[in-house]
Structure 1
Amino acid sequence: MTATEIAKLHFFAAMSQAHAEGVDSDSTCRALLSLVVGKYLETRPVPDVQSELRFVADNCDPETDFMFMRP
């Protein structure tokens, strides 16, 4: 199983449990993101984590190609 498959499995389980318990999906996503950032900070400096998050934020539009992709 790949890292992506493991992450998807647990993400969808968390979202399903949140829905079943009436917890807002935005709050659940925010809590998961906070846990990811906390884990990153255990082994990476703050500027590196900020750079990682900035890259994800800058490239989150599914309608836009990554700037390093060829046409």
Structure 2
Amino acid sequence: MGDRVVGLLAEGLEPGGAGAAARRRITQALADIPGDAATRLLLALTRDEDRGVAGQRGLRGGAAGGVERVGRRPAP
């Protein structure tokens, strides 16, 4: 189910899609979704043209090109 949600969120990130404020909200939502699909999309967002999206609080690009989710609660 998480991958389906990530797919829907990714559609909003396509060119001509969501503005910077919406991309920030999408980034926040992705940080709460476990799985590889969400992590890959978060990694792509670290290169977003909007610094508010790319530097979203709670995410940090790793030295190996990964994304570390900071302060995230473990899944129940």
Q: TM-score, normalised by structure 2?
A: 0.27
Could you say which structure has the higher helix fraction?
Answer: 1
Return the structure number with greater relative CO, CA threshold 8 A, min gap 6.
2
Could you say which structure has the higher strand fraction?
Answer: 2
* CA radius of gyration, larger in: 1
